[in-house]
Chains A and B, each alone.
Chain A
Amino acid sequence: MIREEFEIIAIAAMVAATCALPGVFLVLRRQALLSDAISHAILLGIVLAFFVTEDLASPLLVLAAAATGVLTVSLVELLERTRRVREDAAIGLVFPALFSAGVILISRYAGSVHLDVDAVLLGELVFAPFNRLEWGGVDLGPRILWLMGAILLLNLLFLALFYKELKLTTFDAGLAAALGFAPGVVHYAFMVLVSVTAVGAFDAVGSVLVVALMIAPPAAAYLLTDRLPRLLALSVALGVLSALSGYALAYRLDASVSGSMATMSGVWFAAALLFAPRRGVLAQLRRRRRQRWEFAQQMLTLHLLNHEATDAAGEENREAHLHEHLRWEAAFAARVVRRAERRGLLRYGEGDRLLLTERGRVQARALVEA
């Protein structure tokens, strides 16, 4: 029992890491929803290949799925190129059609075998360890672990070999074409990779979790860094984290493992969205607040500098006057003055006159000159 749990966790982590790598480029290329389209459409390829081989573990299934993935992408592009349909609508037309064809084939002809739509969509990780790879009578572990390992290697190999090409076509397709890098070829090779990854992963975790693991961790990592190598590493780390915490959640609730993993990938994304050091919502709010105070202080010192040598200084340079001149609420003006005083930019003179200190004057002059 303990070994099985360990194996489930290993499979989950392996699937998450494998999905995160191509996911990074999908997110950067703004093609995130192709993962949704491909992971649904490959059902048709799997069903057709299954009719030929009658074996769910046949490598032919992976090939057929990859071919369907490429077919999906080319159909979307074909529709787009007629210029009668926009890209979003094209995706929304192609994958439901292919998925429907797959569902119909299953319910018409494969009713008696183990191939049902539930399993494809939802996956059941808990059963994955039961399907084992044996060689010469020796148990080598769950088959899916080996399959995902091979796909992970393939992903790494592709990245290592075509890193430069992938990077260039992702960030500047025009330049890539001008330099003779054939963005189209790279694009289709990449789509084959996405399809192969999706078909390996969906067997274990279902097609919807494939979408979650391909998009959420890279999108979260995208909020944490600007460098591609770090983005790749962080995405893998966040993917594995989603898998592990998802398994813990599923264990606690006794609920669907793949659903819990998708949920946790969302939780980590939300955490990144809120708390990312520079790009997080909280960091943005803090920055905006600081800027507001700083701007107000600058306005105040400039105002005092403008009027300090004039006859109207006694009238202008008073806290009560700021409302009239700068349109500040009394409470706001009071807070700005207090902050400026605390920073040693001004002091109170006789009456309630505000006098710039030497430091305040230097700062205000610097602003005028800037």
Chain B
Amino acid sequence: MFSPSDLLFDYTLRTVALGAVALGVVSGSLGCFAVLRRQSLLGDAISHAALPGVALAFLLTGSKAPTVLLLGAALAGWLGTLAVLGITRASRVKQDSALGIVLAVFFGFGLVLLTFIQKRPDASQAGLDRFLFGQAATLLPHDVALIAGVGAAALLVTALGWKEFKLLTFDPAYAATLGLPVRALDVALTSLLVVAIVLGLQTVGVVLMSAMVVAPAAAARQWTDRMATMLLLAALFGALAGLGGAVLSATVPRLPTGPTIVLCLTALVVASLLLAPRRGVLWGALRQRRSHRRLRAGAEEGSA
């Protein structure tokens, strides 16, 4: 059975838990911008688009070092977002179709490359596979260090451009009239999202990474109307879900980490939607019932 001291003394569990928590903090806080800017599904497109980057990085360098593979992933993910932008700008194809095309076509191309690699005599495919579905259990200390280090850098950039990013998120037109470099800020913010997603690929995989970006922010949004608070809450929710997922999957046999983290996040979202102090659906329903009753009482009094 799991006991809290395992987190300190069980080496594997500690590594996995630390990695998941770090990832939750980074993707949770950076996801806030994506959700507020209505780009929730961009994360899904980016994570799928990253796959050919991983494969190409391996094909070109022959190295399986996480830094090299993640660099390839980031480049491809970034290209994917550029493609989405380009398609919507140059044609009448709408954003949803553009996202879907980039997601599926990039992923399909990545698959072609992966199967191509698989058949080369010199390369066993292991190590690339885990980008597909994510294998948190194979996280090593240097993976965790990479997540924490790059994540901290991304958060630092966010803090430095905080005021500008916030303005761009809520009122891009006003930001433009103030003379802010809107295009560059947009690119910077999107690049931060790419970084957050690429960091998570190894842990939770291509399909579920989008949830790591969307869910903490969606939950945090229910508790506050202030952006800074929302960011901190999202980081907290991300960390909690990461920890919960890591611990649960270490305790219960045959419980994969990535999906468990996502289900923990989903539970947090549902609880927030129902119970958050002012925006909670439950309180809203109660309020409505009470005001109905008051109205009816008032009407009866009036008619009496």
Using a CB–CB distance below 8 Å, which chain A residues touch chain B?
27, 30-33, 35-36, 40, 79, 82, 84-86, 88-89, 91-93, 96-97, 99-101, 103-104, 107-108, 111, 117-118, 121-122, 208-209, 211-212, 214-216, 218-219, 222-223, 249-250, 253-256, 258-263, 265-266, 269, 273, 279, 281, 284
List A contacts of B169 (CB < 8 A).
Answer: none
Q: List 30 A-B contacts (CB under 8 A).
A: A30-B96, A32-B96, A32-B99, A36-B104, A85-B221, A88-B38, A88-B39, A89-B217, A92-B44, A92-B210, A93-B215, A100-B259, A100-B260, A103-B256, A104-B255, A108-B254, A211-B103, A216-B105, A219-B93, A223-B91, A223-B92, A249-B112, A253-B116, A255-B116, A256-B112, A256-B114, A259-B107, A259-B115, A263-B112, A266-B101
| Bound form: Cα–Cα A168–B18 in Å | 53
Contacts of A91 in B (CB 8 A): 40-41
Closest CB in chain B relative to A42 CB, distance in Å = 13
1/0 per position for B111-138, CB-CB distance to A under 8 A?
A: 1111110010000000000001100000
A209-B104, A254-B119 known; A279 and B40 CB under 8 Å? no
Segment of B139-147, B189-197, B231-239, B262-270 engaged in the interface with chain A: B262-270
Given contacts A107-B256, A215-B104, contact A255 B91 (CB under 8 A): no
Knowing A36-B100, A100-B208, A104-B256 touch, does A93 contact B269 (C-beta < 8 A)? yes
Beyond the given A99-B208, A100-B259, A216-B101, please list 7 additional residue pairs across the A-B interface where CB-CB is below 8 A: A30-B97, A208-B107, A208-B111, A209-B104, A211-B103, A219-B93, A269-B101
Counting chain A CB atoms within 10 Å of each CB, which of B98, B108, B109 scores highest?
B108
Chain B residue nearest to A36 in the complex (CB)? B100
Out of A96, A253, A262, name the residue touching B262 (CB < 8 Å): A96
> Which parts of B151-206 form the interface with A (CB within 8 Å)?
none
- Cβ-defined partner of B90 (8 Å) among A31, A261, A284: A284
Cβ-based interface call for B22 (8 A): no
Complex: how many Å from CA A254 to CA B112? 9
- A-facing mask of B57-87, CB < 8 A → 1, else 0? 0000000000000000000000000000001
Task: Kindly identify which residue among A79, A85, A89, A258 contacts B108, using a CB–CB cutoff of 8 Å.
Answer: A258
Q: Specify which chain B residues have a CB less than 8 angstroms from the CB of A96 in the assembled complex.
A: 207-208, 210-211, 215, 262, 266
Q: CB of B222 within 8 A of chain A?
A: yes
Q: How far apart sit A244 and B96, CA to CA, in the bound complex (Å)?
A: 26
Does chain A have a CB within 8 A of B94?
yes
Residues of B within 8 A of A279 (CB): 91-92
Contact A93 B109 (CB under 8 A): no
Residue of B whose beta carbon sits closest to that of A269: B101
Contact count A vs B, C-beta below 8 Å: 203
Q: Which of A122, A218, A254, A281 contacts B91 (CB 8 A)?
A: A281
Secondary structure class of chain A's binding surface, majority of residues: helix
B243 CB–A CB distance under 8 Å = no
- By the criterion of a CB under 8 Å from any partner CB, how many residues of chain B are at the interface? 61
Measured in the bound complex, the distance between the Cα atoms of B258 and A302 in whole Å is: 69
The answer, among A36, A79, A255, for a CB contact under 8 Å with B44, is A36
Supposing A103-B259, A211-B103, A223-B92 touch, asked if A89 and B40 sit within 8 A by C-beta, the answer is: yes
A111 to chain B, nearest CB (A): 7
Please tell me which one of the listed residues B92, B105, B211, B258 contacts residue A265 in the complex, with CB atoms under 8 A apart.
Answer: B105
List the A side residues contacting B40 at CB < 8 Å: 86, 88-89, 91-92
Most buried by A among B43, B93, B100, B214: B100
